[in-house]
Structure 1
Amino acid sequence: MGTTQLETVPEPKYWHLKTVLSEALDSEFAVGEILPNERELAARFGVARATLRQALEQLELEGRLQRRRGVGTTVAPPRVGVDVGSESGPHTWPGAPGDAWHTEDHACVAAPSTVAQLLDVDTEAPVHAVRRSRMTGGQQVASETLYVPAATVPAVPTDEQGTEGAGGTLHPTARARTVLRALHQCELGGQDRTVELGSARADDARRLDRLPGAPVLLVTTRYLVDGRTAAVSLATYRADTCRLSFSDGDAMSLMAS
């Protein structure tokens, strides 16, 4: 099998254009300024629009640009550091003191197939889904769904009825907090995380004010009790604004998307 001499491989046109655009961003545009439309940019740099889009997507991935609904492509501010680990330490449940997340609502759903495998539950079995969001500098930078099977919190019925008695129901936010409080009664044995690059799904894109398909960082956290997975968190972070860090002692691995 022959070998490829990397120094002889020409630089892709979009990659060279990315460098040129990056220099233009530094010298001609301010943070928050809207870039000209694709047609104007393609004409200015003498490239096809497909090549321009590749360069813009790369700059967005690197956090230099942001695409916003109804606004266009703007120059992004510097990425903010976001600590993925809990301020209370690596052996705490979601919702513990120091948790930076805001609890939004609750639903009983069938877990996605990948989550069902991690939880070792049937794909049709209802699980608690607690949705939370995270703000930094007044901007939502992440959304999360925490999946908790009924076996982990047996005191919280998956049926919406009966939680207040006499047929009453709890508000979704209150019910979400009930699930979190029940989790805190379990002895957490540890947690592990994986991080991968992905694309924003429609629901997450709407919550994060992104366009569907925009680059995001996907953090999957398994919470362990007695060696089994007791809950799974799927968190989506904005790749254009976030620089993730991990508290000391947090277990973490990186996965290629």
Structure 2
Amino acid sequence: MGTTQLEAVQEPKYWHLKTVLNDALDSEFEVGEILPNERDLAARFGVARATLRQALEQLELEGRLQRRRGVGTTVAPPRMGVAVGPSSDVWPGAGRDAWRTIGCVEAVAPGSVAALLGTGPDETVHTIRRERVMQGQPVATELLYVPPVSVPGLSAMLSPAAHAPAVLRELHLLELEGEDRAVELGSARAEDAKQLDRLPGAPVLVVTTRYFAQGRVAAAAVATYRADTCRLTFGHSGAIEVTHHQPDSDRQAS
């Protein structure tokens, strides 16, 4: 990982540094290996630490690096494919659901979610937290918001352990008319970061799903996926292998 003259490059210094570091990750480091500290890396490449941080943040965003509590910055494994779609028109918790329910509370939904559900600013909704684990590690956490009007048969006398199953059971009695999804890049909130074993502010993919019944949005889910380990697949077949290395034949051809 030699020193590069960055001053003569027209593109932003951090972007060129990111390319140099990316090549070094392929040739000099193993998955899980800890990178040298920022001071040593900045000195090695002759750049300011602010420039180095920009490059490292971009590599984390691209899934090449992971920041781990108490460890530092490590080389990330290739992203795993996580099937998210296509829309299957089934309620959460039905069929072969990949999520595990953690708990349920009644709370006021965030403003953006309340707007999706059409609930009032102070109206409480049933909020179910779920998580998704793959290969032994948490890859996503989800909050499923269900307004009381969608589960009118729900008993007011529920134990904490029975709350989530009862909400899902009542929700499944409705005829699901359809669903839609939106995906955007975001930053991990403190609670989600703790659940996903990430640092607050780490890059995440946020998938918002609306479930329709009785001509309205009957429930909404906001799922937060680790952007450093996941690539979301929406087709019926998600078996697309993505690696960080070019095949030898491609290198020879180029």
What are the residue-to-residue correspondences of 1:167-246 with 2, within 5 Å? 170-172=159-161, 174-246=162-234
For normalisation by structure 2, the TM-score amounts to 0.87
What are the residue-to-residue correspondences of 1:8-27 with 2, within 5 Å? 10-27=10-27
Report the CA distance between 1:177 and its aligned residue: 1.3
**Inter-partner Cα distance in structure 1 for 2:186 and 2:101:** 24
Q: Is the 8 A contact 1:84 1:244 kept in 2?
A: yes
Report the CA distance between 1:226 and its aligned residue: 2.6
What are the residue-to-residue correspondences of 1:1-257 with 2, within 5 Å? 10-85=10-85, 90-157=88-155, 159=156, 162-163=157-158, 170-172=159-161, 174-248=162-236
Identity among equivalent pairs (%) = 67
**Inter-partner Cα distance in structure 1 for 2:229 and 2:65:** 9
**Inter-partner Cα distance in structure 2 for 1:46 and 1:90:** 52
Q: Secondary structure at the match of 1:207?
A: helix
- Letter paired with 1:73: T
Q: Secondary structure at the match of 1:11?
A: coil
- Letter paired with 2:65: L
Q: Secondary structure at the match of 2:16?
A: helix
**Inter-partner Cα distance in structure 2 for 1:118 and 1:93:** 17
Report the CA distance between 1:119 and its aligned residue: 0.5
- Letter paired with 2:88: P
**Inter-partner Cα distance in structure 2 for 1:91 and 1:199:** 28
- Letter paired with 1:175: H
Q: Secondary structure at the match of 2:18?
A: helix
- Where in structure 1 are there 5+ consecutive unaligned residues? 1-8, 164-169, 249-257
Q: Secondary structure at the match of 1:151?
A: helix
- Letter paired with 1:41: L
Report the CA distance between 1:175 and its aligned residue: 1.2
- Letter paired with 1:103: T
Query: Runs of at least 4 residues of structure 1 off by over 2 A?
Result: none
**Inter-partner Cα distance in structure 1 for 2:152 and 2:235:** 31
RMSD: 1.3
1:200-237 CA deviation, whole Å, 9 max, x = no partner? 01111111011111100000000001321000000000
- Letter paired with 2:150: T
Report the CA distance between 1:31 and its aligned residue: 0.2
For normalisation by structure 1, the TM-score amounts to 0.86
Question: Counterpart in 1 of 2:252?
Answer: none
Question: Counterpart in 2 of 1:255?
Answer: none
**Inter-partner Cα distance in structure 1 for 2:116 and 2:24:** 46
Report the CA distance between 1:123 and its aligned residue: 1.5
- Where in structure 2 are there 5+ consecutive unaligned residues? 1-8, 237-254
- Letter paired with 2:108: A
Q: Secondary structure at the match of 2:81?
A: strand
